[in-house]
Amino acid sequence: MRLEQLQSFLYVAETGSFQQAARQSGVTQSTISRQVQALETELGLSLFHRSTQAKLTVGGERFWPYARKICQAWENAQAELEDLLTGKQPELCVAAVHSVCSSYLPPVLQRFCRVYPETQLRVTSLGSDRALKVLKDGLVDIAIVMNNPAFTTSSELLVDVLYEEPIKVLMAQDHPLSRYTQVPWMELIRYPQVVFKEGYGMRRLLQDQFNQAGVCLKAALELNTLDAFRGVVRQGELIALLPHSALMEAQTDSTLTIRAIAPFQNPNSCNSSSVVPTSLQAASGLTREVVIVTTADRMQIPPIEYFWKLVHQYIPPELEVGFEAIHPKDLFAKCY
């Protein structure tokens, strides 16, 4: 059974004439007759009384509503896909890590809403691993996350690097480590840390780095919001290793201090009697890579393609020069 057979049947049923059905559909009468006959052969019964007027048989009466539903569903599907390809997408869902949501996404969101006011923009702040999972499950259209090749190396995914940023130390203003301009690893590993919960990319990055170096990550407290990190750290001796983009608010907080990590200088491990392996030297340049991810089929949809381009426009590869990073309020100015 083919769609054109159903359409020919409906044309005849609605006009009561094979000749008028041919005129209305823009094909020859013989074509209409051939399509209806093929349908009747497949169904095993006649659909019309063929006289001066084509009237539905009992079988035709029973079949008509089903044929109409099938053709209507096809028309609806065509219309919806046409809307999709012309940019009439009802919503666009984005998942991004906390630091990107708070620091770099606002101007992108503002500009997108101006160009596509009828598209409902939904942005969810998630850890990298969770964001990539919901992307693969089809629950979001775009993910902006810390790169994890174990998740992003896939033929079905499009992955672009946005920027690479250093990991720095957040501490209370009067913390003992604040006396250093760059915190030595031999001092850094002595203090308990506030860390992201399991399943977050930053937690995995730090745990892997400390494991490879043969030192202990003293995870004293697990949190999942930047506000909570700042609130806990300013209270005492706990420190946090966070990417630069997560430290924007902390830079203007007089109760907090941010320090870079010093180059490797032969620090001690958790056991003060042993020496940390030289693999720790790589950790002194600890960074994370932030990427934008979607699927190839989604890039055919204009709103998604436009959002992708906006992210590249407003989140360039090099945002930071020391601590003089581009602030979100400066990025907002570029939208106008």
Whether the domain at 91-163+289-333 and the domain at 165-288 fall into the same CATH topology: yes
Instruction: Identify the pLDDT of residue 322.
Output: 41
> Is residue 108 within 8 Å of residue 307, measured between CB atoms?
yes
Checking if the pLDDT of 178 tops 90, the result is yes
Average pLDDT, stretch 110-133?
Answer: 91
Beta bridge partner(s), residue 158: 294
Q: Rounded mean pLDDT of the chain?
A: 83
Residue 283: is its pLDDT beyond 80?
no
- Of these ranges, 175-179, 197-201, 277-281, the one predicted with the greatest mean pLDDT is 175-179
Q: CB of 32 within 8 A of CB of 11?
A: yes
Asked if pLDDT for residue 309 goes beyond 70, the answer is yes
Query: Given a cut of 60, is residue 191 above it in pLDDT?
Result: yes
pLDDT band per the 50, 70, 90 thresholds, residue 84: low
165-288 is a CATH 1.25.40.10 domain: no
Supply the pLDDT for residue 153. Answer: 82
Q: What pLDDT, on a 0 to 100 scale, did the predictor assign at position 278?
A: 46
What's the topology of domain 91-163+289-333?
D-Maltodextrin-Binding Protein; domain 2 (3.40.190)
Percent of the chain clearing pLDDT 90 (strictly above): 38
* Cα separation, 302 vs 283, whole angstroms: 41
What is the pLDDT, as a whole number, of residue 318?
53
Per-residue pLDDT tens over the stretch 243-263: 998 998 899 999 999 999 887
Q: Is the confidence at residue 231, as pLDDT, over 90? A: yes
Provide the pLDDT confidence category of residue 53 given band limits of 50, 70 and 90. confident
Residue 198: pLDDT band (50, 70, 90) is confident
Say whether pLDDT at 142 is over 80: yes
Q: What is the 3-state secondary structure (H, E, C) of 91-156?
A: EEEEEECHHHHHHCCHHHHHHHHHHCCCCEEEEEECCHHHHHHHHHCCCCCEEEEECCHHHHCCCC
**In CATH, which of 3.40.47.10, 1.10.1740.10, 3.40.50.2020, 1.10.10.10 is domain 3-85?**
1.10.10.10
Domains of the chain, residue spans: 3-85, 91-163+289-333, 165-288
